[in-house]
Amino acid sequence: MNSSTTPAPVSSAPIRVRIAPSPTGDPHVGTAYIGLINFIYARQRGGQFVLRIEDTDRARFVATSEQMIFDALRWLGLSWDEGPDVGGPYGPYRQSERTEIYREHAEILLANGTAYRCFCTAEDLEAARKHQMAAKLPPRYPGTCRNLTPDQIAENLAAEKPFVIRMAVPTEGETTFRDELRGEITFSHNNVDDQVLMKSDGFPTYHLANVVDDYLMRITDVIRAEEWISSTPKHVLLYQAFGWPQPRFWHMPLLRNIDKSKISKRKNPVSLVYYRQAGFLPQAIINFLGLMGGGMPSPTPVEIVNGAKETEVFSLEEMVQRFEVPNIRLGGPVFDLTKLKWLNSEYLRALPPDTFFAALRETVLSDQYLRDVATLVQSRIETLGEFGNLTAFFFQDNVLPPPEVWVPKKRTPEETLLFAAEQLALLETTDWTTEAIEPALKQLGETHSWSVKENFMLLRAILTGSTMSPPLLESMVVFGKARTLDRLRRFLDTQKKLAANKK
């Protein structure tokens, strides 16, 4: 594989773009943001918008995630032209159904010498890493298997030694590619590791599958988040290794927390499921995401003379008419929840009363939700009139229990907060059923010497704001994972701020 400083010509074929989310959990606001930009770009150019599910990382795979991604994107109005559920001429659109294709393509690279089999064991790699650390070298594959002779390879294969397939990145030179928003970007090959392309379990890594699919699905423009820039030289080398033309690359600035760090669930809810359940309108979220990066132009002087106002409020249709992807500003767009709430309130206020009521009935007062909540209190209620008192926490945006409610008798606030943080970390990765939550919580309590009573009381206090409530686990399930975790995070955050203010 030779280095190159001239990017391959980009095709002028009909525009085809894609988003390629990995089903590893709740659908992320970042997926909606990148989805929106791709959607607008395709709609403006009469192109096709493809949804591909990148589910080759089996360790992080979450079975319910794919459907949640479909539901969230549809809710936002970002419909796709081709995808796992709607089909299309270049399917299958789920990578786990394409493993044979990746295997065949890895064979092509092995045959033309741009990839090689690596038989190193985990111990070999660990030893090399330690050695490099001691010598203060950056950790990278030391190239042990790069030059095995055909006989050595045959011997290893005959001995059925497990292997991965690695890319033979040129040892010298550099790779340059054009980013449509940034211009040319160059990476020295010293900084590009011999990337694993096929794992020993026969599944491809992201890099191989992504490039093969983008090519086979005729993608003309790869519009994705900035965090993939460092992967792009590997992708460019792969296009060259296959002898394929490259797509255009657009790396969108990352969404940021208010403090400018990369958006994270510690500082902002990031699950689209949360926003839907908490009663944000899809139009408001789409509008808000469209404000990120400044792709919406201000009205021209002529438009202003004709009465157009500078506005931050615009619909998806208006964005399709006016948004300019090439004008996106770099620098971190801030995901400011206060601003999103303001926008949401603008949309809510503008709804006709009947539509407003209908919106409530579809979300926080849906039949299903009311029925689930009612079921939890039926056996505890003396008059129907008490319904509100018993269930208020299900309908509040947040609850703020005082310390006498959340600190168990024999514990200090500090140790209680530490344990609450453990509960949060555990629940983040727990299936949202009482059967899964109960043993997981009990196990956590045992590990940290917290009694079942203290353990459950603490969660009850954080979730409901009180020491008395309908059954805890069932309440958590009805309230939903996204909102329960949000309540826990907000509780911890509030306590942290209160403690900091005291100092």
Total site size for ligand GLU, rule CB under 6 A: 8
Cβ 222 to ligand GLU, closest distance in Å? 6
Within residues 23-82, the interface with ligand GLU by CB under 6 A covers 54
Among positive and negative, which fits the CA dihedral 50, 55, 57, 62?
A: positive
Task: Compute the chain's Rg from CA coordinates.
Answer: 26
Strand order of the β-sheet with 164-167 is 115-118, 164-167, 196-198
Q: Which is nearer to ligand GLU, 193 or 422 (CB)?
A: 193
Out of 199, 262, 265, 339, pick the active-site residue: 265
What are the tokens at 212?
A: 């093969």
Segment holding 175, helix H or strand E: strand 174-179
CB distance 491 to 458 below 8 Å:
no
Task: Give the range of 20-28, 100-108, 248-256, 390-398 binding ligand GLU by CB under 6 A.
Answer: 20-28
Distance in angstroms (rounded) separating the CA atoms of residues 215 and 73: 24
Task: Give the range of 15-23, 323-331, 357-365, 491-499 binding ligand GLU by CB under 6 A.
Answer: 15-23
Cβ 315 to ligand GLU, closest distance in Å? 26
Strand spans (E) along 277-431? none
Residue with tokens 């979220």: 285
Q: Which is nearer to ligand GLU, 73 or 441 (CB)?
A: 73
Q: What is the DSSP letter of 87?
A: B
Q: Please tell me the total number of residues recorded for the chain in this structure.
A: 503
CB distance 184 to 236 below 8 Å:
no
Residue 265 annotated as catalytic: yes
Cβ 179 to ligand GLU, closest distance in Å? 13
| 423 residue type, one letter | Q
Find the binder of ligand GLU among 16, 17, 22, 460 (CB under 6 A).
22
Task: Give the range of 17-25, 73-81, 170-178, 372-380 binding ligand GLU by CB under 6 A.
Answer: 17-25
Of 339, 264, 275, the residue nearest 489 (C-alpha): 264
Find the binder of ligand GLU among 17, 20, 168, 208 (CB under 6 A).
20
Within residues 202-231, the interface with ligand GLU by CB under 6 A covers 206, 210, 224, 228
**Which residues neighbour 333 within 8 Å (Cβ) at sequence distance 6 or greater?**
253, 255, 256, 291, 292, 293, 294
Question: Is residue 21 a contact point for ligand GLU (CB under 6 A)?
Answer: yes
Site string for ligand GLU, 228-267 (x = CB under 6 A): x---------------------------------------
Cβ 259 to ligand GLU, closest distance in Å? 23
Task: Give the range of 16-24, 277-285, 366-374, 385-393 binding ligand GLU by CB under 6 A.
Answer: 16-24
CB distance 27 to 271 below 8 Å:
yes
For residue 18, which phi and psi values (nearest 5 degrees)?
A: -150, 155
Cβ 34 to ligand GLU, closest distance in Å? 7
Cβ 224 to ligand GLU, closest distance in Å? 3
Q: Point out which residues bind ligand GLU (CB under 6 A).
A: 20-22, 54, 206, 210, 224, 228
Catalytic machinery residues: 265
